Amino acid sequence: MPTIGSILRSLVLGPSADGETTGPGQDRASPQLPDHRTIYAIGDVHGRADCLQRLIEVISEDVSGTAAGSPVLLFLGDYIDRGDESRAVLDICTDIAAFWRDETVFLRGNHEDAMMTFLSDPVGGAAWLRFGGLSTLMSYGVPNVSESMSEGRLVEAAATLARQLPEDHLHFLEKTRLTHTEGNVHFCHAGVDPDQEIGNQSPRTLMWGEGTAAPAPDYPYIVVHGHVVVDGPVLRPREVNVDTGAYFSGHLTCARIASGSIRFLQT
List the domain boundaries for the chain. Answer: 4-109+167-266
Read off the pLDDT of each residue in 6-12 and give the average, rounded to a whole number. 36
Model pLDDT for residues 81-136, shown as the tens digit of each residue: 999 999 999 999 999 988 765 589 999 999 999 999 999 999 999 999 999 999 99
Whole-number Å distance between alpha carbons of 199 and 179 = 9
- Please give the CATH architecture assigned to the domain spanning 4-109+167-266: 4-Layer Sandwich (3.60)
**Using 50, 70 and 90 to split pLDDT, how confident is the model at 15?**
very low
Query: Which range among 31-45, 167-181, 200-214, 242-256 shows the weakest confidence by mean pLDDT?
Result: 31-45
Whole-number Å distance between alpha carbons of 52 and 63 = 16
Read off the pLDDT of each residue in 238-258 and give the average, rounded to a whole number. 97
Helix axes 167-175, 86-100, angle to 10 degrees: 70
Residues 246, 143, 107: CA angle, nearest 5 degrees: 35
